[in-house]
């Protein structure tokens, strides 16, 4: 399993628009082959800073999404709302504990 975290910082007047855009695209992203979880998180104490947290079946699935028309249709309008460059991390789970 691969985990992808993307940190995005938005102009304050664009936050609601971004959230609506995310609501409108989240089901399509979840339906993309290999996507197993998708969360939108707000960084506590940092208005306008959000992170997406997603699980992908494997690196190939994540890369197919990152090069897809769906990704382009989501990412292009999203990055226009940024007030700083996005940061992204791709990780592979080594150990995990869940209840």
Token couple for 20: 């609506």
CA 85, chain centre distance (Å): 14
pTM of the complete model: 0.91
CATH architecture for residues 2-92:
2-Layer Sandwich (3.30)
Q: Are strands 2-9 and 49-56 parallel, antiparallel or unpaired?
A: antiparallel
Tell me the pLDDT tens digit for each residue of 16-59.
Answer: 999 999 999 999 999 999 999 999 999 999 999 999 999 999 99
CB 98 within 8 A of CB 37: no
R_g over Cα of the chain? 14
């Amino acid at each position: 399993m691969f985990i992808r975290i993307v940190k995005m910082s938005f102009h304050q007047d664009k936050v609601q628009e971004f959230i609506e855009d995310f609501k409108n695209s989240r089901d399509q992203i979840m339906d993309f082959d290999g996507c197993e979880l998708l969360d939108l998180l707000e960084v506590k104490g940092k208005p306008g800073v959000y992170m997406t947290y997603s699980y992908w079946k494997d690196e190939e699935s994540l890369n197919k999404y990152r090069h897809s028309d769906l990704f382009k249709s989501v990412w292009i309008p999203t990055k226009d709302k940024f007030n700083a460059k996005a940061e992204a991390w791709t990780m592979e789970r080594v150990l995990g504990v869940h209840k």
